[in-house]
Chains A and B, each alone.
Chain A
Amino acid sequence: MESTTQSRALKSDVVLALRGQRSDRPAIDPFLAGGLRSWLEDDLSKCAESLSPETPFILTPRSTTSQALVAVPNMLALARGALVSVLAAQRIALGEVRHPMDDALSALEADPSQHDVVESIHALDQDAFAQLAAEVSAHDEVLRRHLSLVPTTWFPRSNVKLTAPLAGGRLLLTARVNVVLGTPSQSVASVCFLDLTTSLLEDQVLRRLGVLSLIETLRSGAPPLRVASLSTATGDVAMLEVTDDVLAEAVTDVVTAAHQRGEQS
């Protein structure tokens, strides 16, 4: 992936790096999204024949770029991920976090869809709970470094769901992005994504970000400007400049994954 930059040493200002200079933003090719969609529709048509729109086949950036079926993380890892995710949203929305574990847990408790995660946290013994709280504080320290000074004029929003239905809704490319910045692209690319992970950045992170960029391109008609993944475990950042090559590679990844998963199921 030649047209990408990866900075595992970018320890601060990931948000500034994502936004970059306004004058450097690339112009949008208005026909790009339509071309990518046609390419995907053609290559997926055979694989989609046996699917129904009522039970669509769902591909995420992670499942697209992993060779094997993605293993379900254990409950503690899920809980940590959920807690850190709501803290990121809180930092973007309110600009501060007072008590990382208390704030995050109360936010999860107010969300009925997180009932199982909340139950698993409350089921922890005192030592395990204290350890989880310490971990969450450490992850939040990375968030504080990167997300404390996001101007509201950049239209920051959190936990944004993106979906690109293909083959008449038989195949869905979906993703949830932790942080989105920027207004919808008009003549130049302007939207930026920041994806968070509480584990280490995996080898396929750039390909995963490429698929994320593809989903946004299909959804909005314009590719994002940049996408990045931040590991709150290490503070490492992987950043991707979105180019035509990146999107073409993502199309190949999606088609390959759809065929592989189709054969497996």
Chain B
Amino acid sequence: MKIRYPASTLPRAQAVTDLIMTPAPPLERLDPDLRRVLASRLAALAPARHLGAVRLDSYTVIHAHDPVTGPPVSFSWSPQTTKRILGLASAQRVVAGMSANPTSAVRAEIADVVARAHDHPTRPGALGSWLCEAPFGVLGAVTSEAVAYATDLLFSCAWDRLGDDAFVGRADPVWAVPGAPWVALRGRRDATILLDAEEQTRAIVALRAGRPTASSVTDLSHVALVEGMTHPDLPLPTRVVGIWPATGKTICLEVSKEATQRAARSVVDALQTMRKQGARRHAA
């Protein structure tokens, strides 16, 4: 497992960009055998469908073994749950030159989402519907959180150096398990940078809250695994760069076959634990 760190020189964004763009030989595609084995294991371990959809992202995989305290909390929109969606879309606006700064980008993005919801009514649970009905104070909190997220992402790299090769804020890749599509792997990543258009090599940038921990490499490996599962025709990403803005730390995982194998094992272990917990909860 090869881990690299940016030079500690200033400015940090340039050092992180240097790290992202370091040349490396293209990797192979995800091992088809690993893909088949993982699909088969996950389908066999899938909890019953009526227990609900299972979305295996880095967070759920890492925390699957934590003791369960209290009933599961259902999702609802809040400034915290909207910050990444709106922050990413706003950062994309700034990188594309459509907005001058994060604050104006977030305001424009929220106005667009609200306008779309007005013009094309969506389901009541959609973000647009929620924002349409949100009081002014809630819009303030939503804007504030999204601006902070977008600013963190924009300050993390020298986007002007990456130019058209940087793709910010595309939807997270999701791979539904064949035979048990209510179980899906999701790779939470914030940007993809094309390193070599011919070889299709790329680096992935993932912004994370808090500080790096012992499980951070598992987190980054999971992102690489999902990228491999959702793009079987492309080589594995060359590296996954995790950035923790709150602590100013950056960790770069150079992706390898071993990293994806380890990530696959973590996913299987996590689903096994979740299945047991689900069965226990159902029995209770």
User: B-contacting residues of A (Cβ < 8 Å)?
Assistant: 28, 30, 34, 53, 86, 89-90, 92-94, 97-99, 102-107, 109-113, 152-153, 155-165, 169, 172, 183-187, 218-222
The answer to whether A89 touches B151 (Cβ under 8 A) is no
20 CB < 8 A contacts A-B? A30-B10, A34-B8, A86-B140, A90-B144, A92-B144, A93-B143, A94-B143, A104-B137, A107-B140, A109-B138, A152-B102, A152-B104, A157-B147, A157-B151, A159-B145, A159-B148, A163-B211, A169-B213, A185-B10, A221-B248
Contact partner of B11 among A86, A105, A161, A186, CB < 8 A? A186
Whether B5 sits at the interface, judged by CB under 8 Å, is no
A98 vs B8: C-alpha distance when bound (angstroms): 45
Q: For A172, list chain B residues within 8 Å (CB).
A: 211
A218 vs B145: C-alpha distance when bound (angstroms): 24
Q: With CB as the reference atom, state the residue of chain B lying closest to A109.
A: B138
Whether B238 sits at the interface, judged by CB under 8 Å, is no
Whether B23 sits at the interface, judged by CB under 8 Å, is no
A27 vs B139: C-alpha distance when bound (angstroms): 38
Q: For A153, list chain B residues within 8 Å (CB).
A: 100-101
The answer to whether B10 touches A90 (Cβ under 8 A) is no
The answer to whether A102 touches B247 (Cβ under 8 A) is no
Q: With CB as the reference atom, state the residue of chain B lying closest to A98.
A: B136
Q: For B69, list chain A residues within 8 Å (CB).
A: none
Whether B210 sits at the interface, judged by CB under 8 Å, is yes
A107 vs B101: C-alpha distance when bound (angstroms): 24
Whether B35 sits at the interface, judged by CB under 8 Å, is no
Interface membership of chain B positions 109-144, coded 1 if the CB is closer than 8 angstroms to chain A and 0 otherwise:
000000000000000000000000011111111111
Q: For B103, list chain A residues within 8 Å (CB).
A: 92-93, 152, 155-156
The answer to whether A186 touches B137 (Cβ under 8 A) is no
The answer to whether B135 touches A106 (Cβ under 8 A) is yes
Contact partner of A112 among B78, B136, B141, B143, CB < 8 A? B78
Whether B284 sits at the interface, judged by CB under 8 Å, is no
Contact partner of B141 among A89, A186, A221, CB < 8 A? A89
A10 vs B187: C-alpha distance when bound (angstroms): 49
Q: For B210, list chain A residues within 8 Å (CB).
A: 163
With A86-B137, A112-B80 known, 14 other A-B pairs at CB within 8 A are A28-B10, A86-B140, A90-B144, A98-B136, A105-B137, A107-B137, A110-B142, A113-B80, A157-B147, A159-B148, A184-B11, A185-B10, A218-B248, A221-B248
* Interface residues contributed by chain B, number (CB under 8 Å): 40
Whether B257 sits at the interface, judged by CB under 8 Å, is no
Q: For A104, list chain B residues within 8 Å (CB).
A: 137
Q: For B147, list chain A residues within 8 Å (CB).
A: 93, 156-158
Min Cβ gap A248→B in Å is 20
Interface membership of chain B positions 72-92, coded 1 if the CB is closer than 8 angstroms to chain A and 0 otherwise:
000010111000000000000
Contact partner of A103 among B137, B142, B145, CB < 8 A? B137
Q: For A113, list chain B residues within 8 Å (CB).
A: 80
A121 vs B52: C-alpha distance when bound (angstroms): 36
Q: For B9, list chain A residues within 8 Å (CB).
A: 30
Known: A86-B140, A107-B138. A155 touches B151 (CB 8 A): yes
Q: For B79, list chain A residues within 8 Å (CB).
A: 107, 110-111
Q: For A160, list chain B residues within 8 Å (CB).
A: 148
A187 vs B14: C-alpha distance when bound (angstroms): 13
Q: Give the top 7 A-B pairs by smallest Cβ distance, nearest first.
A: A90-B140, A103-B137, A93-B143, A106-B137, A89-B144, A152-B103, A107-B141
Contact partner of B148 among A53, A98, A158, A185, CB < 8 A? A158
| B104, B143, B210, B248 pick with most chain A CB within 10 angstroms | B248
The answer to whether B137 touches A102 (Cβ under 8 A) is yes
A164 vs B246: C-alpha distance when bound (angstroms): 8
Q: For B144, list chain A residues within 8 Å (CB).
A: 89-90, 92-93, 157-159
Q: For A34, list chain B residues within 8 Å (CB).
A: 8
A223 vs B142: C-alpha distance when bound (angstroms): 29
Q: For B137, list chain A residues within 8 Å (CB).
A: 86, 90, 102-107
Q: With CB as the reference atom, state the residue of chain A lying closest to B154.
A: A155
Q: For B141, list chain A residues within 8 Å (CB).
A: 86, 89-90, 93, 107, 110-111
Min Cβ gap B15→A in Å is 9
Q: For A158, list chain B residues within 8 Å (CB).
A: 144, 147-148
The answer to whether B136 touches A155 (Cβ under 8 A) is no
Q: With CB as the reference atom, state the residue of chain B lying closest to A34.
A: B8
